[in-house]
A and B are shown apart, each in its own frame.
Chain A
Amino acid sequence: MTDTIANRAAKVTPQKVARKIKGLSDRAIAWIFVAPTIFLLLAINIFPLIWTIQLSFTNYKANRLNREPEFIGLRNYERILTDSDIWLNMQATAHFLFWTIALQVLIGFTLAWLINKKFKGNDLWTTIIVLPMMLSPAVVGNFWKFLYQPQIGLFNYIIAFFTGKEPSSFEMLGSVQLAPWSIVIVDTWMWTPFVMLICLAGLRSIPDYIYEAAEVDRASKLRQFFTITIPMVLPFLMLAVLFRGIENFKMFDLVVQLTGGGPGSTTELTSINLKREAFEKWRTGYASAYAIILFVTVFGLASIYVKALNKVKER
């Protein structure tokens, strides 16, 4: 180091000027760094969204290139909101959302709680349990279809083995009663580890001294569970529910491969219905209005939920 103190001071003092001479100013760099991302999102997310809004007021059909779309005002929205079939799809989605989230929270939290007992090798088993959620939902849906085959499928065989029923006596994917549950089972199999991981992080974030203090106060284990463990994990659990809720509201790939929305339309979740309207019936304008309604719904519900989540966090 040949730098004298005076030299160093000289370098430091006119720093802003020096940096501008040597390179770009921080402000310019900030914009250069952020602009491409914003531009890409504007081009591939926002512009299409605006286009969708515009299309939603027309009767455009994307498979008829020559016909000029006509402006029809709010008629698409009116038709969707008064269509009883769409309410059935909404119900199917609600059933799917409610049961997947309920089961995943229950099983996921229990697993996390057990793993947090820190038995030997818990890391290894956690990693194994986590595998399903990283896989391609479409491929997973496809091979569960194989497991669900009435005569040859492993799932039916195992259920039959334990209940004594004939393996061909029930069709998980073909019956109106069972199909909605078949998709709940697969989604729960796949995503329980997600809730588990988040709960585990929550459990591990609770400092030991809180339990030690409770022990000094002679609080029972059960009481500790309900007054320490549950409230401390709740924000984490709510975050997990938020993620699962948004993801399952958008659910498409897994269910399309499993049931294709059938039998009839018992498992036709809103995304699958939307795909039919947009890319099979080619009612582009109508489907656009539908898409906007779904987006507003998920965005609205998520915002309300995040507010609630923040309240819980503040407590």
Chain B
Amino acid sequence: MSAYSVTEPSTRSKWFAGSLVILYALITMIPLAWIMLTGFKSPSDAISYPPKVVFEPTLEGYVNLFTTRTRQTQDFLEANPPQNWADEIVREYDMVIVGPSKFGERFLNSVIIGFGSTFLSIFLGTLAAYAFSRFKIPLADDLLFFILSTRMMPPIAVAIPIFLMYRNLGLSDTHLGMILLYTAVNISLAVWLLKGFIDEIPREYEEATLIDGYTRFQAFYKVVLPQAATGIASTAIFCLIFAWNEYAFAVLLTSATAQTAPPFIPTIIGVGGLDWPAVAAGATIFLLPVMIFTILLRKHLLRGITFGAVRK
């Protein structure tokens, strides 16, 4: 390396570029920061004008998110002293907590359907990707394109026949139905990404073990799987994030038992309209895992969002 390089930007242009990018990053974070702050506001602080940046934090939003409450008479309130801190918060509004809200259930549904469909997509996707990567399959390119093209259909268009089909099969509003549906959507991503990852593993490794007397199956799970572990893990996170975020199918095909969190969060109603702190609390709890995963995934992010088309 020479001391002077024509491709290395000058210190001044680095400063300039750095400050602009940081400015953009800060602006782009405002909505997210705002929603997280709102989760810790009281309903009146949340809708005050001008918007409050400094306020007295409260867990009211979180309490409202997780509980159902009813208004009670003064006599009742005096006869039953509050039992814990959550109770005390709702007492300010002459209310008592009567039970958990549906949020916990909806969140759990998101977890079950998210993990279920991710597991299934990865399981099927790894097998298919291995086959596409290692064996000569007739019309392999066409099949791969067919797998990808299923992703081009608008979800609402797919939802019409799925709705009818699930109604006939008794799969509407069930966990199994949603898991199968999300698997079908995610499998295209899984196959394309995993094929890329498996393509990168040298064939010589398996061939060596085949010569040593392993069967194909053994070579697959003793050699290829461990080598592809990082690729499989990042693909799994992408599938999980998709299933976690999905809204269109969830809102059309689920209602009571299998509804996930995205269709539920916007419907949290408080006294006189939407309970914004509770909505914000729900959004925060729901979005945080994805943010953490995004940070963990940053090296493979580009690959994931482009179906492996750009590998960097």
Contacts and interface: CB of A to CB of B under 8 A. Distances in A.
Interface string B194-216: 00000000000000001101011
A249 to B, nearest CB: 7
Contact of A253 (B50, B127, B248): B248
A212 B188 CA distance: 41
Nearest to B216: A29
B153 interface: yes
Contacts of B130: 33
Contact of B127 (A36, A257, A287): A36
Contacts of B8: 118
B71 interface: no
B127 A33 contact: yes
Interface string B169-212: 00000000000110110011001000000000000000000110
Interface in A290-305: 291-292, 294-295, 298-299, 302
A125 interface: yes
B165 A48 contact: yes
A67 interface: no
B154 A198 contact: no
Contact of B25 (A31, A125, A138, A149): A125
A162 interface: no
Interface in A237-280: 239, 243, 246, 249-250, 252-253, 256-257, 270-271, 274-275, 278-279
A29 B220 CA distance: 11
B135 to A, nearest CB: 4
B158 interface: yes
Interface in A106-159: 111, 114-115, 117-123, 125-139, 142-144, 146-147, 149, 151-154, 157
Nearest to A36: B124
User: How many B residues touch the partner, as a band?
Assistant: 35 or more
A131 B294 contact: yes
A26 interface: yes
User: How many A residues touch the partner, as a band?
Assistant: 35 or more
A6 interface: no
A11 B290 contact: no
A312 interface: no
Interface string A196-228: 011011001100100110010000000000000
A302 B131 CA distance: 27
A27 interface: yes
A137 B247 contact: yes
Given A139-B283, A147-B31, A37 B124 contact: yes
A274 B13 contact: no
Contacts of A33: 127-128, 130-131
Contacts of A129: 21, 24-25, 28
Contacts of B86: none
A55 B161 contact: yes
Most chain A C-beta atoms within 10 Å of own C-beta, residue among B32, B50, B160: B160
Given A34-B128, A114-B20, A250-B155, A152 B48 contact: yes
Most chain B C-beta atoms within 10 Å of own C-beta, residue among A134, A189, A292: A134
Contacts of B266: 138-139, 142, 257
A290 B165 CA distance: 19
Contact of A212 (B6, B32, B135): B6
B6 A201 contact: no
A94 to B, nearest CB: 15
Interface string B237-251: 000010011111001
Interface stretch (A16-24, A79-87, A95-103, A175-183): A16-24
Nearest to A205: B312
A139 B31 CA distance: 12
By Cβ-Cβ distance, the 8 closest A-B pairs, closest first, are A291-B157, A48-B161, A119-B18, A23-B215, A138-B247, A44-B184, A136-B245, A33-B131
9 contacts: A30-B137, A37-B124, A119-B18, A128-B25, A132-B28, A144-B31, A198-B310, A239-B310, A291-B153
